Structure 1
Amino acid sequence: MAKAFILIAPLLLLGNVFFINASFPPDLIIDMAKIVMDNYCSPEKLVGMKEAIEAAGSNTEVLNIPDAESLAQVLSAGVQTTVSDPRLMVSYEPDYVPAVPPQMPPLPPEQLIAVLQTSIKLDILEGNTGYLRIDNILGEEVAEKVGPLLLDLVWNKILPTSALIFDLRYTSSGDISGVPYIVSYFTEAEPPIHIDSVYDRPSNTTTKLFSMSSLLGDRYGLTKPLIILTSRTTKGIAEDVAYCLQNLKRATIVGEKTAGGSVRVEKIKVADTGFYVTVPTAKSINPVTGGTWEVTGVTPDVEVNAEDALATAIKIVNLRTQVPAIIEGAATLIADNYAFEDVGASVAEQLKGLLAQGEYNMVVSKESLEAKLSADLKTLSGDKSLVTTKNTPVLPPMDYTPEMYIELIKVSFHTDIFENNIGYLRFDMFGDFEEVKAIAQIIVEHVWNKVVNTDAMIVDLRNNIGGPTTAIAGFCSYFFDADKQVLLDKLYDRSTGTTTELQTLPQLTGTRYGSKKSLIILTSAATAGAAEEFVYIMKKLGRAMIIGETTSGASHPPQTFAVGDTDVFLSIPTVHSDTSAGPAWERAGIAPHIPVPAAAALDAAKAIFNKHFTGQK
């Protein structure tokens, strides 16, 4: 009640503050408030108004005001602020004559054709894209009269197009009964779809609008692209059409946020005066969202200036014509190259299924296509490395001096010696074998020699994101003896159909750590790629204890493939570790022997070693 009283009571007292020259009867504002209370489409916003009106009715003050226009302006500001609805207005229009909806007179066919041609703009754009602009949404009665002509002049020319751009940027009028007609041409005949509900306040009734099973002419269908253009002046029934088709996932809205009008606004005279109250008497309630476009407007899927909307829509249509070939091409690449053949075949078929189901019908840019394709590939495969990617050119090798290499190595590696002569080695990425081989002596002198003479070692891979796997055999070899070659892993390369045995190297730069001294490897959920391959080998062969978190579950370094002749690229893992004894680490990660949070892994490893060495003393 307090909120409603804010609206009424101060207005009754305006005469005591501002106005001295004229007067109006005290029940004027009460009559206005009753019109709002009895007709406003959202009665839940008017809680307490009835009591406020009754309280105001006992006030015998006479409004002293200089002119009716000033009072109307003040009242409008008050009611709009109180109810938070700019559509509510009070006006003083003593000469106002209510507009009578024009009836379409019987016209000869040639004149009717001329009228339709001036109100509807039709064009067939390059690429067989239809363009249709309608500035007024026809109601059921008018549509029945002109339907056959519309079919011949407009719709039958639109039907053969491959995509449609529906321009509502200039549409600010229409009839609510036209909404089911328009929406139905872009849906299936059966089953009927509940597309909108319209609540009428004066009658306190709700009318549900459904798609129509029977239409004049053929439907445009569900699969061909439909783009609706909007502007800030798109209003009323045009907003309803756009909102319904947007939330049915049938149309993409491009342009500006719409006006936020109403399905029905009435101008009601206040008793026997020249004052009128403009009230939205009905409201749209969308069955999909439970919300409405009224007041707030329809938010575009792609927001651009209205003058740029058509050009943007054409770009979207052009992209969507390429989508089927892109998805089909991606499916073929995955089926032919993905490391796990059965998974690749399954992903390819499911991807084609998503395309057939229309899952890619709503992409609006190359970026949104790539994002959706990546998300789908990761979901279907369970492989976070199977994604779209950028075709980043390989940078030429840097020409480092020995001094520069030394400084780079100092930054890239971290070593320490803990209590009980426990060595600590951390590095956050693996390098290519040929690059590492060229600077192996420098690494040995400035890194390896600092930890090789320890009694046990902690290798910290918690922040290691992977890199090339070509140096894995060499790094593993330092933790085995030279007198026996050890089979580390078997790598199957799908792209070549070959299997390569990964074995320890007989010769190394520097001294081996050997197979006898204890080794703990620290892992986290970020440990990925080549680092996982190293952890997998050392755990499988029983050479190290793993402490920390389950690793990322990435892959061997993937290859980049172009999808056809497009600039869409896929990152596809083509190599997997030996799975003869069961699943390896790809997609699943490696579980540690001792699971602890990554942040606590180093302390846990040190505690284990300290306890071990203390017990030996």
Structure 2
Amino acid sequence: MKIPLRNILIIAAFGVIGFTEQALAQAVNDADSHEIVTKLADKLVDVYPFPDISAKYSEALKKAEAAGRYNNLSEDELASRLTDDLNKAHKDVHLRVMRNEQVYKSMTEPQAGGGNQREDDSERRANYGFKKVEIDGATSTAYIDAPGPFYGSKEAFEMAAAAMNMAAYSKYIVIDIRHNPGGTGQMGRFLSSYFYNAGHEQFYLNGFYKDRKQDEQEWTYAYVPGRRNPDAKVYLLVGRGTGSASEGFAYAMQKLNRATIVGDTTAGAGIAGTYVALKNNLIVFTPFKMVVGPGSNVGWEGTGVIPDVNTGKADALLAARKLILEDIVKTGKDSITRESAQWVIDNSNMAANKPVNIKSKYSELIGRYPNNVSITAAKNGLVYKYSVPGKPVETFTLQEVKPDVLVINGLNANIAPNSSRLYVNRNAAGKVESFTRKTMMANGTIYIAPQPFKTINQISAGISHKRHRLILPFRMPVPGH
């Protein structure tokens, strides 16, 4: 049978594709597999800081190999199975085998320029581990977003110094490491050093190896570029994505009582390690140094860093900001700052307030007021209205913030949400006399309307009453007297 040329080309094309996929998924031969397992087991026995655990790893790998668990597997499959078997013997979130051709080649083949050149610009694209710095002058708060990882390059430390110097004059500093997977522990020590005066270096963390004679004490640095901020109140935001060296930063600052840790429990990766090339494009991240607190054999390995303020899945940044506002209300030196902080706290608590019948509770507010203002009843409460001749009437619902304080929803929304309030003024008998309108400005100050608002009827009645009091006792003077 004669096969058309077009079909021959299609068959050939599929044959090439099938061959390519087969080549990519080609099984690691038995000799290479044995060499990989042996090198992995020996390396763990040599460097893993806990000999009893490394013995379990070695035994588990050799037992699995004898059972044929590593036969006829692709490189990816072999890496995955080795990692699974190690985790079954003892779970260490750092310890993992992976296939990475690029890293394997960089570790096993000579590099141009003596191997000192980075093959990609991943550090630059990650902005050297620091994303942004935001300064809130109203609360004197600096927010530093450091999703990491923590790099050890010159550029990374320059970026960290720039971030810390932007925050140098803030009373409160929030550092967000919720999504920081780790990196070099030197960066955490560098950041911590800014919160101590020169000459007051702190024993930060302690690292120990299988050979305890090699123990390393880690201290904060005697010198950091720029201005230190030893009086700042520090909040570190952590979560499940906080791992390894970033956990060490949080753990050390917590143990030193130098920061409040806010968020969710961290990953629990407390044994430092490094990459080791195996064979067939396989590499292993091998833990070799247990990191613990000063004078202790206990770290965060397996348990993670437990926050001082545990928010679970709730937003840790919102929680930290509320802690800062509460501290301002408690310790602020001027009444304006304290009142502004309390204002924001009240707004954040509104959603949790017990619903009240606004229409019934504040019915005495209903009426017309000067300056084109009126308050009317609506189906679900009260409405604040502002009308200017020739323009549509603007309406804003009233919502209770706390007793006798109502937010005018939407009024001055160009400044901020919930920026305008109505404060009810009552007489000694508890009857509503007027209201005062206040507005939180963008700079944190509070503008107070010059005069309390009274209804037009109240004003008219007051004028008549005053006239009555003035006219009755008044007598015309006798000329010449």
Q: Give the TM-score, by structure 1 length.
A: 0.41
1:569-608 to structure 2, matched below 5 A, reads none
Residue of 288, 292, 314 corresponding to 2:299? 292
Residue of 266, 269, 280 corresponding to 2:287? 280
After TM superposition, give the deviation of residue 157 of structure 1 in Å: 3.2
Alignment partners' CA distance in 1, 2:189 and 2:245: 11
- CA-based RMSD of the aligned residues comes to 4.3
- Name the amino acid aligned to 1:282: K
> What is the aligned residue count?
296
Partner in structure 2 of residue 256 of structure 1: 264
Classify 1:62/1:174 alpha carbon distance in 2 versus 1 (closer, same or farther; 3 Å). closer
User: Which secondary structure does the structure 2 equivalent of 1:65 belong to?
Assistant: coil
Unaligned runs of 5+ in 2: 1-26, 108-114, 334-344, 346-481
- Name the amino acid aligned to 1:283: M
Partner in structure 2 of residue 414 of structure 1: none
- Name the amino acid aligned to 2:134: L
- Name the amino acid aligned to 2:205: D
User: Which secondary structure does the structure 2 equivalent of 1:209 belong to?
Assistant: strand
1:287-436 to structure 2, matched below 5 A, reads 287=294, 289-305=296-312, 308-324=315-331
- Name the amino acid aligned to 2:180: T
Partner in structure 2 of residue 24 of structure 1: 30
Q: Is the 8 A contact 2:94 2:285 kept in 1?
A: yes
- Name the amino acid aligned to 1:177: Q
Alignment partners' CA distance in 1, 2:44 and 2:38: 10
Partner in structure 1 of residue 169 of structure 2: 160
Q: Is the 8 A contact 1:38 1:202 kept in 2?
A: no
Residue of 79, 82, 89 corresponding to 1:82? 89
- Name the amino acid aligned to 1:186: F
Between structure 1 and structure 2, the one with the greater Rg is 1
- Name the amino acid aligned to 1:301: D
Q: Is the 8 A contact 1:137 1:178 kept in 2?
A: no
Alignment partners' CA distance in 2, 1:294 and 1:243: 11
Partner in structure 2 of residue 133 of structure 1: 145
Partner in structure 2 of residue 587 of structure 1: none
1:493-504 to structure 2, matched below 5 A, reads none
Partner in structure 1 of residue 72 of structure 2: 65
After TM superposition, give the deviation of residue 49 of structure 1 in Å: 6.8
Q: Is the 8 A contact 1:169 1:306 kept in 2?
A: no
Q: Is the 8 A contact 2:203 2:218 kept in 1?
A: yes
After TM superposition, give the deviation of residue 65 of structure 1 in Å: 3.3
1:192-207 to structure 2, matched below 5 A, reads 192-200=201-209, 205-207=214-216
After TM superposition, give the deviation of residue 83 of structure 1 in Å: 2.1
After TM superposition, give the deviation of residue 171 of structure 1 in Å: 2.0
Q: Is the 8 A contact 2:264 2:306 kept in 1?
A: yes
Classify 1:161/1:118 alpha carbon distance in 2 versus 1 (closer, same or farther; 3 Å). closer
User: Which secondary structure does the structure 2 equivalent of 1:136 belong to?
Assistant: coil
Q: Is the 8 A contact 1:89 1:279 kept in 2?
A: yes
Alignment partners' CA distance in 2, 1:194 and 1:234: 22
Q: Give the TM-score, by structure 2 length.
A: 0.51
Percent identical among aligned pairs is: 20
Q: Are 1:190 and 2:199 counterparts? A: yes
Q: Are 1:228 and 2:216 counterparts? A: no
- Name the amino acid aligned to 2:154: V
Classify 1:82/1:138 alpha carbon distance in 2 versus 1 (closer, same or farther; 3 Å). closer
Alignment partners' CA distance in 1, 2:233 and 2:139: 13
Q: Are 1:241 and 2:253 counterparts? A: no
Deviates more, 1:90-99 or 1:184-193: 90-99
Alignment partners' CA distance in 1, 2:327 and 2:153: 36
After TM superposition, give the deviation of residue 283 of structure 1 in Å: 2.6
Classify 1:116/1:191 alpha carbon distance in 2 versus 1 (closer, same or farther; 3 Å). closer
Q: Is the 8 A contact 1:35 1:277 kept in 2?
A: no
Q: Is the 8 A contact 2:80 2:97 kept in 1?
A: yes
Deviations along 1:232-281, one digit per CA (max 9) or x if unpaired, are 112222111111101111111111111223564333233x4444333223
Deviations along 1:16-57, one digit per CA (max 9) or x if unpaired, are xxxxx985135543332112212324334234777x599979
Classify 1:98/1:307 alpha carbon distance in 2 versus 1 (closer, same or farther; 3 Å). farther
Alignment partners' CA distance in 1, 2:84 and 2:271: 23
User: Which secondary structure does the structure 2 equivalent of 1:73 belong to?
Assistant: helix
- Name the amino acid aligned to 1:213: A
Partner in structure 2 of residue 121 of structure 1: 133
- Name the amino acid aligned to 1:135: P
Unaligned runs of 5+ in 1: 1-20, 106-111, 327-364, 366-617
Q: Is the 8 A contact 2:262 2:319 kept in 1?
A: yes
Alignment partners' CA distance in 2, 1:118 and 1:59: 47
